[in-house]
Amino acid sequence: MKTFVSFIVKEAKHILRDNRTMLILFGMPIVLMLLFGFAITTDVKNVRTVVVTSSMDYQTNKAIDRLAASEYFSIVATVSTPRDAELLIRNQKADLAVVFAQDFASKSAGIQFIVDGSDPNMAQQWTTYAQQTIVNPQLSIVNLKMLYNPQMRSAYNFVPAIMGMLLMLVCAMMTSISIVREKERGTMEVLLVSPIKPLMIIIAKVIPYLVLAFVILTTILLMGRFVLDVPLQGSIVWIYLLSTIYILLALSLGLLISNIADSQLMALLLSAMVLLVPIVMLSGMMFPIESMPKILQWISAIVPPRYYIEAMRKLMIMGVGIGEVAREVAILSGMTLFLLAVSLAKFKTRLE
């Protein structure tokens, strides 16, 4: 037992003495959280609006005032023909043109929105907001309620996704690199001839990363809660339990990669290509899975972070009980057992 502990201490020292790695391990989560939490939003804000009108009557003025008063729109110009407005949009001086018909005042009808449609989602939202701003809201019979995320903050969506990405990265990539590095430098040989069992060496190697993963998880949760104001609706116990399953899964993946790769560069490339790209692209982190073609949807079914991120969104943000995420938990546990079995079966106690 004493040898085992000293192995863990040795591994922890490896990590702690490498300043650059430490900087990456802790700098990356913080930078990503700040970027995603604050900078990456799809809120409708500061839409540059051009007013197209030939007669400034009372009704038109009132509608323009409503637009100008709202925080969503800022009026940048008033022109007299739609052609001028289109030119402004093409030159990226404006995003939206509101065209008032000549007889707008008399009939109270005839508004045309000309919108820069290059980004379809935003174009759709801009016009909806503009329509709602111009129409007197009291007349509407719709009562909108945004569940779980009343201010529509993007951070709610991204914090669970960042957890899924970073835990996978730290556990799988860092573990595999650290094992392969020992192989590359030849120190693995020294470890394998020591009195401790080969399997124990690997477990001792993994434990500091396990601890590190929990530290990072806690950092993200605390930052999410206190810096980004993302609520933690669900029970903390379940969040940690589910994360433990996921971390184990990532660690066994890292072990598997370290068995395959024989140089640091290959381990780095393997984890970057095989892990990072599918996580970002196919896990539903940024791009919705249901909009993809069927074949990509099938591939995404074997991407573990997909289930973790989905479960975390439900547990953290929606605050549902564990019963509602039973499916995700079952799939993740199954994947963990499978990967753990495979990576242990493939584990080589000898160096060729």
Residues 84-123 that bind another protein (CB under 8 A): 86, 89-92, 95, 108-123
N- to C-terminal Cα separation, the chain: 29
Instruction: Report yes or no: 72 and 45 within 8 Å, Cβ to Cβ.
Output: yes
Distance separating alpha carbons of residues 176 and 268, to the nearest angstrom: 8
For another protein, the closer of residues 37 and 254 by Cβ is: 37
For another protein, the closer of residues 153 and 342 by Cβ is: 153
Q: How many residues does the chain have?
A: 352
Give the pair of three-digit tokens for residue 272.
Answer: 């970057």
User: Binding string, 225-254, against another protein, x = CB under 8 A?
Assistant: ------------------------------
- Looking at residue 112, its amino acid is Q
Distance separating alpha carbons of residues 335 and 114, to the nearest angstrom: 50
- Looking at residue 274, its amino acid is V
Pick out residues in 20-39 that bind another protein (CB under 8 A).
Answer: 20, 24, 27-28, 31-32, 35-36, 38-39
Exposed / middle / buried, residue 304 (Cβ in 10 Å: 0-12, 13-18, 19+): buried
Give the pair of three-digit tokens for residue 300.
Answer: 């995404």
Instruction: Report yes or no: 235 and 325 within 8 Å, Cβ to Cβ.
Output: no
Q: Considering only residues 56, 68, 265, 351, which one is a binding residue for another protein as defined by CB under 8 A?
A: 265
For another protein, the closer of residues 19 and 237 by Cβ is: 19
**Hunting for tokens 């116990």 — which residue is that?**
237
For another protein, the closer of residues 34 and 341 by Cβ is: 34
- Interface segment toward another protein; rule CB under 8 A; list 42-50, 189-197, 214-222, 238-246: 42-50
* CB of 137 vs another protein, minimal distance in Å: 11
Pick out residues in 68-87 that bind another protein (CB under 8 A).
Answer: 86
* CB of 188 vs another protein, minimal distance in Å: 19
* CB of 165 vs another protein, minimal distance in Å: 11
Pick out residues in 279-338 that bind another protein (CB under 8 A).
Answer: 281-282, 286-288, 290-293, 296, 310, 313-314, 317-318, 320, 324
Instruction: Report yes or no: 3 and 197 within 8 Å, Cβ to Cβ.
Output: no
The reply to whether 40 sits near another protein by the rule CB under 8 A is yes
Distance separating alpha carbons of residues 109 and 311, to the nearest angstrom: 48
